[in-house]
Amino acid sequence: MRSLKLSLPDPRTALIALNATSGLPPRTTFQISLQEDWVNRLCRGSFSETRSNVGINERTSINFNSLIASDFAQREINKARDNGVRIVTFLDDDYPSRLKEIADPPVVLYVKGRIPAPEDVLIAIVGSREASSYGLGIAEQFAMRFAEAGAAVISGLARGIDAMAHRGTLKAGGRTLAVLGCGIDMIYPFQNRDLYKEIAERGCLISEFPFGAEPYLYHFPRRNRIVSGLSHGVVVVEARQRSGALITAQFALEQGRDVFAVPGRIDVPYSRGTHELIRNGAKIILSVEDVFEEIPGLKSQPELFSKVNKKKPSDLTADELKVLSIITQDAVSFDTLAAKAGLPVPALMGVCLSLELRRLVRELPGKMYELL
């Protein structure tokens, strides 16, 4: 091909353009960025000697050069500034260190909120979009407890388990990170628009895709590798046999992350994927304490619960008072509570967890509750 007469861009600007070059999978993009003098060679179309290694062809050079010629990177930088977004490249000092460990890290991240620091403990919670009330309740409870223990909770902002994990974290006053399968300026699914806005204000939104990128189906496995790559461990709550949650779990295993699975009912499709994970060696968890034992730097912190307990009984909600009035010194089953309180299962699980955190009740084996 005839080389275009272009002034060579600086490496950071070139990475923004490379990230948007069509037809390049993440691993190829990353491999290109590691090649010596890659900016000059890609601009000149002189990658022929390494095409077999990194998948460069003439069309790639043409696509890249067209982005350089159109000042694409500068336009992205301007949009980021106008929308309160930071563009973090692989070359920047604050690029997440855990992502650098994986085989195919994104060369560019669009970030709205505080990017994870090296000392942060991140737990991913993922699962089915079409989740049961049991799964939704577990996701919320686990997220709240992780937040109380000082961990940030990361997920994919999808319907179902993902959304409940984000909501549980925010409810507990913790930090949650949402990795998107579209441009950071796109809200998908739209029904999560309020949650998107709340995470933008109180947590962190992350995407590797340029502004305006649509939520194409093939974007979501790419998103999932970032969810697992950022995390110290992945908790799978309800997953069908073919689901994005299992893809995330597979990425986590390849990346050397812990994979935890929450068991469910054996007669529903929502649990078949998680049970398959358990059969194949994933760590079965029955409580958040099972995760605390495995993740360095993450443990139950009673002093946090004592702070929550400052709330007086007179400040409790009507639902909390109703549940307290049902529980006696003799243990009461969750089913009995549900029947007498008349609350939906997810709401009742949240009430019980709230009362536990305030050290007003405690859960016993067999899903029984008693007063403290």
DSSP β-bridge partners for residue 138? none
- Classify burial at 23, counting beta carbons within 10 Å of its beta carbon; exposed 0-12, middle 13-18, buried 19 or more: exposed
CATH number of 302-371: 1.10.10.10
Q: Is 204 helix (H, G, I), strand (E, B) or coil?
A: strand
- Classify burial at 77, counting beta carbons within 10 Å of its beta carbon; exposed 0-12, middle 13-18, buried 19 or more: middle
Please choose, from the candidates 218, 267, 269, the residue with its C-alpha nearest in 3D space to the C-alpha of residue 239. Answer: 269
Against a cut of 0.85, is the pTM above it? no
- Per-residue buried b or exposed e for 276-301, using 16+ beta carbons within 10 Å of the residue's own CB: bbbeeebbebeebeebbeebeebeee
Backbone dihedral angles phi then psi of residue 5, each to the nearest 5 degrees: -85, 90
DSSP H stretches of helix in 172-267: 193-202, 219-230, 244-254
Q: Residue 110, CB half-sphere, CA atoms under 13 Å: how many?
A: 29
More confident residue, 87 or 39: 87
Which percentage of the chain shows pLDDT scores above 90?
55
**221 and 209 Cβ atoms separated by less than 8 Å:** no
**229 and 99 Cβ atoms separated by less than 8 Å:** yes
Average pLDDT over residues 247-262: 96
More confident residue, 56 or 60: 60
**168 and 144 Cβ atoms separated by less than 8 Å:** yes
Answer yes or no: is pLDDT of 57 > 60: yes
Domain with CATH 1.10.10.10 in the chain: 302-371
For 173-214, how does the pLDDT look when each residue is reduced to its tens digit (9 = 90+)?
A: 999 999 999 999 999 999 999 999 999 999 999 999 999 999
Please choose, from the candidates 201, 205, 109, 107, the residue with its C-alpha nearest in 3D space to the C-alpha of residue 155. Answer: 205
Can you tell me the distance from the alpha carbon of 83 to that of 89, in angstroms, rounded to the nearest whole number?
Answer: 18
Can you tell me the distance from the alpha carbon of 277 to that of 112, in angstroms, rounded to the nearest whole number?
Answer: 33
Can you tell me the distance from the alpha carbon of 163 to that of 286, in angstroms, rounded to the nearest whole number?
Answer: 21
What sign results for the dihedral spanned by CA atoms 206, 212, 215, 218? Answer: negative
pLDDT at 306: 36
Model confidence at 6, pLDDT cuts 50, 70, 90, reads low
Average pLDDT over residues 358-369: 78
Give the amino acid at 154. Answer: I
Q: Residue 236 is encoded by which pair of tokens? A: 């799978």
Model confidence at 48, pLDDT cuts 50, 70, 90, reads low
Domain with CATH 3.40.50.450 in the chain: 112-292
CATH number of 112-292: 3.40.50.450
For 159-181, how does the pLDDT look when each residue is reduced to its tens digit (9 = 90+)?
A: 999 999 999 999 999 999 999 99
